[in-house]
Chain A
Amino acid sequence: MNRLRFTPLQRVLHWVTAVCVLAMLFIGVGMLSTVMPKYLTLVSIHKPLGIAILVLVLIRLAVRLRRGAPPLPADLPEPLKLAAHLSHYLLYILLIAMPLIGWGMLSAAAYPVRMYPGLYLPAILRQSDRLHAILWGAHYYLAFALFALILLHIAAALFHLLVRKDGVFQTMAPVSDPSSK
């Protein structure tokens, strides 16, 4: 189990999710900032992309539980190890919760949850103004929390790559680094 890198499947899943989630966050704030026709285009991408992320992250979680992760460097200070573990738990929780909250929010508002013209998901909650208000607030504020967490994640990854040079970045790097062989 003491591998140097995540498996190729784990790395592919990571980078595909990374692109999708960043796109999702930009689409989310972008669609709230405009009344132009691109609003409809952005909303029509936001919904199926959110469900795609939910599926991707559930697959990732299953693969992660099966295949594990390379250990953090032994010399990494304990507080940083704790921060690394906590932030990854939070990322998984938010990445699974956000699509479910969005789906629940649309259900509670009796909006059709449209993936594609003619293709819909069922409602997962009964219609309720109170639930809609709670879920809308959660979806909105957690999106900014998720974005902040992702910025921290990027900063930490680059810190490992450029400052600590401890091989942590390489465990998830999309391509193998020939100099590390």
Chain B
Amino acid sequence: MPQSKSAAAAAGSLILIAVLVGGVAAAFAYTAGWLSPGRLTANKIVDAFTPPSGPPLGHRRNHSKGVCFTGVFESNGAGAELSRAQIFAPGEYPALGRLNLGTPDPNAADASVRVRGLGLQISAPNGEAWRSAMINAPVFAVSTPQAFYQLLLASKSKDPNAMPTFAAEHPEIAGFAAWAKTGPWTGSYAEERFNSLNSFIFEDSKGTSHAVRWSFVPAAQPVPVSPEELATRGSDFLEQEIAERVQSGAVRWTLIVTAANPGDPTSDPTRPWPQDRRTIAVGTLIARRIEAERDGPCRDINFDPTVLPAGIKTSDDPFPAARSSVYAKSYDLRTAEAADYPRAMTGGAP
């Protein structure tokens, strides 16, 4: 074979190899989103939470202020009708939780934060865990993760028209806005009702699916207190109050599961279900011990609402997936920043 012809063939082969390998690399770059700057990622949402003063290093990127508790979930067995998860069989299961405030500022004054939250893990003897993160608002502010990202940007914007424009484009925010404006404030985490907002699917032992939402309803009677009055109580009054209250007796919430009727909106957490839907009280959450977050057992737990036992699944609600990816990003960041939030009692040096 003439020299030049084989050289040309080799050059052609090299080009073919470059094209094939380059094609695989390009497909990888596309999958990673590097060619799609418009794709909504966990990084973008985490960045959008960042206050002008910078991220709360070592802390959760939102709901950054909180306090740990441990206790039990006493299941009365009624939930077994809807879900075969072991935690709905009658019995007592260990519970680990975090009462928290919906703010990216871990030093925020308690009276300044409208949204209060409950992160919870209930552990079953078979090793499974049910994690969830709930808030005291009765409905969520927006219908989709994309709209939530736009809301974060609008609320941070220096443009005075940003929020009115957003609200005009997203009328579904009205329910949340009405609660934020007129809903009662209380002086205690123990008086708050914490709602799943997102819909999930419970699967019973026969394999039948039930779309549900749930709430932890306080045993303590809520006493409305004006935000002005709360502002006089000191910056950490909620943490102090719950610690004192638990010390003088366990604090309880009843877990109420609401089952949807066919056709109820499961994919949109701004839309409440009609009041007459069937509800089942399935058990009682009992907080027995409060611990500061810094050295507490909830600190390094990601209350990812998609950590679910067999018998509970996500629904067509798009939020749990988005929350899972964003919570994971927040977790990866804060565990790498632990030095910025040092433990008081480290395992190493005395």
What band does the interface of chain B fall in when counting residues whose beta carbon is under 8 Å from A?
Answer: 35 or more
The answer to whether the Cβ of A89 comes within 8 Å of any Cβ in the partner chain is no
Report A-chain residues with C-beta under 8 Å of the C-beta of B301.
110
Beta-carbon contact of A39 and B324 below 8 Å: yes
Inter-chain contact A112/B307, CB cutoff 8 Å: yes
CB-CB under 8 A for A112 and B321, given A29-B31, A133-B338, A155-B21: no
Collect the chain A residues with CB atoms within 8 Å of residue B127's CB.
112, 120
CA distance A125 to B249 in the complex (A): 36
Q: Indicate with 1 or 0, residue by residue over A121-133, a CB within 8 angstroms of chain B CB atoms.
A: 0000001011011
Report A-chain residues with C-beta under 8 Å of the C-beta of B14: 159, 163
Q: Assuming A40-B314, A127-B300, A132-B335, is B17 touching A35 (CB within 8 A)?
A: no
Binding site for B on A (CB under 8 A): 25-26, 29-40, 43, 109-112, 117-118, 120, 127, 129-130, 132-133, 136-137, 147, 151, 154-155, 158-159, 162-163
How does the 8 Å CB contact mask read for B4-26 relative to A, with 1 for contact and 0 for none? Answer: 00000010011011001100110
Interchain residue pairs with CB less than 8 A apart (25): A32-B32, A34-B40, A35-B40, A35-B42, A36-B40, A38-B321, A40-B306, A109-B302, A110-B301, A111-B302, A111-B307, A112-B307, A118-B126, A118-B128, A118-B309, A120-B127, A127-B300, A130-B338, A133-B336, A147-B28, A151-B21, A159-B13, A159-B17, A163-B13, A163-B14
Does B57 sit at the interface, judged by CB under 8 A? no
Asked if residues A33 and B335 are in contact (CB atoms below 8 Å), the reply is no
Contacts A33-B31, A35-B325 known; 7 new A-B pairs at CB < 8 A: A109-B300, A110-B301, A112-B128, A118-B309, A136-B332, A151-B21, A158-B17
CB within 8 Å of A: which residues of B?
10, 13-14, 16-17, 20-21, 24-25, 27-28, 31-33, 36, 39-42, 45, 126-129, 145, 300-302, 304, 306-307, 309-310, 313-314, 316, 318, 320-322, 324-326, 331-332, 334-336, 338
Residues from chain A with Cβ under 8 Å of B300 in the complex: 109-110, 127, 129, 132
